[in-house]
Structure formats: C-alpha cells, structure tokens
Amino acid sequence: MTQLTATQDAELTGSATPAPRIIAIVNQKGGVGKTTTAVNLATGLAASGVATLVIDLDPQGNASTGLGIDRNSRKVNSYHVMLGGADIRTAIQKTLVPKLDIIPASVDLSGAEVELVADSHREHRLNQVLKPANLPYQFIFIDCPPSLGLLTLNALVAAHAVLVPLQCEFYALEGLSHLIRTIERVKRSLNPSLEIQGVVLTMYDRRNNLSDQVATDVRNYFGAKVYDTMIPRSVRVSESPSFGKPVMLYDFQSAGAQAYVYLASEVLKREGRMVP
C-alpha cells in the first residue's frame, strides 16, 4: 500500500499543509560535496513528487549556478531576504526541475557576515523570515558556505536538522569535532531541537582502499546516522554544474545520478515520508 505524503494527507483531511522540514547542509571544510548534495538530493526529492526548495546561502552561488540560474537573474537573492527586507517569496525562482525551486545567492552575500556583526539578532535573521513564511514545500535545503561563520549559524538556527557531507579522503574526520561542538552550542543556546539528520559519504572511489577505510571510520564514529548510499566519485557529477543541470538531468544513467536517487529515497524513508 502506498502511504500518503503529508501534503496529500493534509489536502484530503483539509488540515493546513505541514510546515516544511528545513535541513542545513553543513561542513566547514571546502569542496566536500555540500553544494553537489544540495542540488542533487533536492532534485531527487522533487523527482519523487516532493515539493522542495534550495536556499543558496553561499556567496559563491554554486547551487544557483548548478541549478541553471544565470548570474544576471539573481537580482533578489538570499542577501536581500536576510538583510534587505525583501519578501522571501519574491526571491524564489523556478528551476528546470518541476517541483524544485531556489532562492539564489550572489556575491552581495559576501558582505553579509560583516553587516551582521553589529546586529543584535545576527544569528536569527534567516529564521525570522523563513519560519513565519511557512512556504509551501515539504523540504527546504540550505546550502552553506565552507565556514562556521554567521551565515552558517543563521542556517543552523533556522534548520530543524543538519546533513553533513563527508568526502572519502584522509582528512575527512578532521575538523569534525569543531563542527559537532558548534552544533551543540547552537542547540544549547539558540535552537534546542537541532539534530544531526544524517551523514553522507561523498566522492567514494571503490578502487581506492583509503575510501573504504574512511567509510569504515565514519560509520564507527557516527553509526546509524551515516546513510547506506555512498556517492561515488563520478565525472558526470562534476561536469553537470557547468551545464546548469543536476546530474539526473545531465546523465540519468550515470552512477552519480543513480546514487542521488537512492539517497533521496533513503532520506524520505528516514524522514517518515514515502515516495508518492
């Protein structure tokens, strides 16, 4: 029997649409697959019929580029939502993927951390605009920059949970205690219900013994938090952003695309939502 999604259930019973589940994709290490995971996991969920939003909170704007949003069409973006008083709905753009929308980022955001320092609500800005808006999505993913600065703190305060991508390489666990301490600190003082939703191993190379060793170490450390699906290192995954497409649209048959399809179904299962 196919279980109803929360939205279908709400439609049938006439109850209000449930609030979106907000997941921040965080790792202060650069280049570990945060953006790739944000773009492709969100696409996997949208392809399953689940309305999904990506918020690009990285001044590099890679998620926006990877989802085909031209730099010239980011006039209202995450910076204006957080700091410019723009209505969050005016910043939302459709992507090539049905049911997947994005709030893009631009370089404007690079000054945000400095501007926020003097603000007494500096860690709460995103939360203050996101939660009351009750946007009509089942999932919202926030793609964070490679730091634990104020932008990432805003994501951690606004989110229900954190998804941590870890690259299968020697230094994967380095810096992790700092990340976990930060999550604990946010939990204690700013967002008590914050939790680690999961850990996803990225750029796994089965020909490389080190990848297996790292995967084993990460599983020993995080236990069941680690998703079974490991994202393989795949040229198709790395090529797709230059075409402004998620890998599922670029080459659906590729191992990378398939891995993100599996990851999306694992995420839905873990979140207690079935594929419609």
Ligand X SMILES: Nc1ncnc2c1ncn2[C@@H]1O[C@H](COP(=O)(O)OP(=O)(O)OP(=O)(O)O)[C@@H](O)[C@H]1O
User: For binding to ligand X (CB under 6 A), which residues are involved?
Assistant: 30-36, 58, 60, 62, 146, 202-203, 231, 233-234, 237-238, 241, 256
Q: Which does 61 bind (CB under 5 to 8 A by kind): ligand X, Mg ion, none?
A: none
Give the nearest distance from C-beta 212 to Mg ion in angstroms. Answer: 26
Q: Say how many CA atoms lie within 13 Å of 263 toward its Cβ.
A: 31
Letters for 140-179 (x = contact with Mg ion by CB under 5 A, - = none) are: ----------------------------------------
**Closest CB to Mg ion among residues 35, 152:** 35
Nearest CB to Mg ion, comparing residues 141 and 227: 141
To the nearest whole angstrom, how small is the minimum distance from the Cβ of residue 6 to ligand X? 29
31 or 111: CB nearest Mg ion: 31
Smallest separation (angstroms) from ligand X to the CB of 13: 39
Which H/E stretch holds residue 25?
Answer: strand 21-25
Token pair 């650069």 is found at 30
Element of type H or E holding 196 = strand 195-204
Q: Does residue number 62 form part of the binding site for Mg ion (CB under 5 A)?
A: yes
Label residue 147 exposed, middle or buried (CB < 10 Å: 0-12, 13-18, 19+). middle
The residue with tokens 């994005």 is 102
Torsion over CA of 113, 114, 115 and 116, rounded to 10 degrees?
A: 50
Which among Mg ion, ligand X, none contacts residue 202 (Cβ within 5 to 8 A by kind)?
ligand X
- Smallest gap from Cβ 103 to ligand X, in A, equals 16
Beta bridge partners of 54: 102, 141
Closest separation in Å from C-beta 25 to Mg ion: 8
Please report whether residue 21 would count as binding Mg ion according to CB under 5 A: no
Query: Which tokens sit at 220?
Result: 């020993």
Secondary structure of residue 159 in the 3-state scheme: coil
Which two tokens mark 140? 């919202």
30 binds, among ligand X, Mg ion, none (CB under 5 to 8 A by kind): ligand X
